[in-house]
């Protein structure tokens, strides 16, 4: 099975192709360029230099969120378009599940975090059992101080992975039972996305077509929050 993976949930854009659990190619850029500028050129260049045609794919793996609202829409629209044209199934993987997949063979519990703005993070807790990623706590949005308190009082060792570790590094380094992995593990990787997606596909979990797959936002965007607050003030003023 040949799988194209697409992730635009965070600042990094990552695409990859795996075939029968072998990584064929991967392209990751972690810059401030927008996903609309990066994604399609990355896919085209990766496939071209690897001598792969997109119509050779058997499945699309896409990160469904949470994360950057605009980024998720760009990645999801691209995955749906490719799947539609080539009549391919799509497997969705959430963003913290994807980050935790970077830590395979880890013997500690894993907490993945992405910046959710202000003092909040998107998070999920996982562990590896028999070389498979097992969910401990489903994806959620929490205050970073609450999460640090939860982990520090758990009497267990935790690997904290994801780009948000750098935003809160000063707080995290003071906690003895929290460990931050190497930089290569803290960026979302489409190769991890593909590996998780294949396992899900084999179990018929989170398998969609191009019409039914949807992003996971967890909460409203800042623009929606501000709109709701504005409407509430207007209604209260009547």
Residue 185: closest CA among 158, 165, 157, 169: 165
Instruction: Quote the pLDDT of residue 225.
Output: 47
Residue span of the structural domain in which 69 resides? 2-96+188-224
Low-confidence ranges of the chain (pLDDT < 70): 219-234, 237-238
Instruction: Note the pLDDT of residue 21.
Output: 87
One domain, residues 196 and 138: no
DSSP 8-class letter at 184 = G
Residue 36 placed within a domain: yes
pTM for the structure as a whole: 0.90
Do residues 9 and 69 both lie within one domain? yes
Number of structural domains in the chain: 2
The helix or strand, by DSSP H or E, that contains position 147, with its residue range, turns out to be: helix 144-152
- Domain shared by 6 and 89, yes or no: yes
Encoding tokens for residue 64? 């469904």
pLDDT at 218: 86
132 and 157 in a single domain? The answer is: yes
Q: Is residue 229 part of a domain?
A: no
| Dihedral pair phi/psi, residue 91, rounded to 5° | -110, 130
Do 161 and 218 reside in the same domain of the chain? Answer: no
What is the predicted pLDDT for the residue at 227? Answer: 45
Q: Are 41 and 76 part of one and the same domain?
A: yes
Could you tell me if 215 and 179 lie in one domain? no
What stretches of the chain adopt beta strand conformation (E)? 2-7, 13-19, 22-29, 59-65, 90-94, 109-115, 120-129, 132-143, 158-161, 178-179, 207-208
Is the domain of 39 the same as that of 144? no
Q: What is the pLDDT of residue 237?
A: 64
pLDDT in tens, 176-206: 999 999 999 999 999 999 999 999 999 999 9
The domain that contains 50 carries what CATH number?
3.30.420.40
């Amino acid at each position: 099975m040949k799988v194209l993976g697409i992730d635009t949930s965070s600042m990094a854009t990552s695409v990859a192709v795996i075939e029968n659990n072998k990584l064929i190619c991967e392209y990751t850029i972690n810059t401030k360029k927008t996903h609309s500028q990066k994604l399609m050129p990355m896919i085209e260049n990766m496939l071209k230099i690897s001598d792969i045609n997109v119509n050779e794919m058997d499945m699309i793996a896409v990160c469904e969120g949470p994360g950057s609202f605009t980024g998720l829409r760009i990645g999801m629209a691209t995955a749906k378009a490719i799947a539609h044209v080539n009549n391919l199934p799509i497997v969705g993987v959430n963003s913290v599940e994807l980050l935790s997949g970077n830590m395979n063979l880890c013997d500690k519990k894993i907490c993945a975090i992405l910046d959710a703005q202000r003092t909040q993070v998107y998070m999920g807790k996982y562990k590896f059992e028999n070389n498979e990623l097992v969910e401990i706590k489903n994806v959620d949005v929490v205050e970073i101080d609450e999460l640090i308190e939860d982990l520090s009082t758990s009497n267990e060792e935790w690997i904290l992975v994801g780009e948000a570790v750098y935003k809160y590094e000063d707080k995290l380094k003071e906690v003895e039972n929290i460990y931050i992995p190497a930089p290569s593990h803290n960026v979302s990787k489409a190769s991890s996305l593909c590996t998780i997606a294949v396992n899900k596909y084999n179990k018929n979990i989170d398998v969609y077509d191009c019409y039914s797959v949807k992003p996971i936002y967890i909460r409203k965007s800042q623009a929606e929050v501000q709109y709701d607050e504005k409407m509430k003030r207007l209604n209260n003023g009547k």
